[in-house]
A = this chain, B = another copy of it.
Amino acid sequence: MIIVIQCKDQVGLVASISAILAKHQLNIISMREHVDKVENMFFMRLNIDDGKDELLLENYIKEVLPPDAIVSINPKPSKKVVVMVSKEYHCLADILIRNYFGTFGATVQCVIGNHAILQGICERFDMPYYTVSHENISKPEFEEKVAAIIDQYNPDYIVLAKFMRILSPAIVAKFSMRIINIHHSFLPAFIGSNPYRQAFERGVKLIGATAHFVSDELDEGPIIAQQIIPVNHSFTAADMVQAGKEIETAVLAKALKLVFEDRVFVYKNKTVVFE
């Protein structure tokens, strides 16, 4: 059983929480705790041996915490996820494979693409695919159509698996800190479009990828995970794109695993990640 807690910090929080667990004979397998001294915030993730009566336990814990506390016990057995894509297959295929073999840590409900290119691979996995073209249509109309599909599924998270359109504040606000994007650069370097072209022109020796929650500011949301790979003078911009795909796939997979295992807390445009 996983318990995640986020609230204002105060003396005695660990004592209060662990006293309740001990009282119910619950053994702590692992505990991660972080206090943000600047923001005076307390974050905790507990892995408990066992635990019936989750609702009761949640109430007991809430009783000893400040009123603003967020407590989540044994988060839902499987998160539901809608994936959005454009043309590139690498992140989507990785997700479909893990979903198919039951190792994704969540359940993919459907895939929405602004192109039809990736419909074929989804069909091979009997995965519903919706093509919503962004052409000959206004942005609000496009997003309305997308939102209508999402609403059917009521997902816990939306994963932008190389979805190359910028979402408007309305849709971002609706799924606040529940939209996860993979950006094809080592943020905050190379914000915006065509980062590999920018990286090539700058002559960098490493390129990276960043998985982050989406906020209203382009590529400015809280970062979940980042990784890099070395490049050199022999890489064309196209080679960098190619090499970047491997790292994009890996970083997005890692970030999603962390999120689905309730290891990621968001606060003030930053994340606390208990790896």
Residues on A lying within 8 angstroms of B by beta carbon are: 9, 11-16, 18-19, 21-22, 25-37, 89, 93-94, 97, 100-101, 121, 124-125, 186-190, 202-206, 208, 222-228, 232-234, 246, 250, 253, 269-273, 275
Contacts and interface: CB of A to CB of B under 8 A. Distances in A.
Nearest to A19: B15
Contacts of A15: 15, 18-19, 21-22
A-B interface, 5 closest residue pairs, ranked by CB to CB distance from nearest:
A203-B270, A12-B22, A15-B18, A189-B189, A15-B22
Copies of this chain, tallied across the complex: 4
Contacts of A11: 22, 25-27
22 contacts: A12-B22, A13-B28, A14-B14, A14-B21, A14-B28, A15-B21, A16-B22, A30-B34, A30-B234, A34-B233, A93-B97, A94-B97, A186-B206, A187-B189, A187-B204, A188-B202, A189-B189, A203-B222, A205-B225, A206-B208, A228-B228, A233-B273
A190 B33 CA distance: 30
Given A12-B22, A189-B189, A246-B250, A203 B269 contact: yes
A206 B227 contact: yes
B22 A29 contact: no
Majority secondary structure of chain A interface residues (helix, strand, loop or mixed): mixed
Nearest to A88: B101
Contacts of A12: 18, 21-22
A202 B217 CA distance: 13
A217 to B, nearest CB: 11
B246 A223 contact: no
A89 B94 CA distance: 12
Contacts of A271: 203, 233
A246 B251 CA distance: 11
A33 B28 contact: yes
Given A28-B33, A31-B33, A101-B121, 11 more contacts: A12-B18, A14-B18, A19-B19, A89-B101, A97-B121, A124-B124, A124-B125, A203-B269, A204-B226, A206-B226, A250-B250
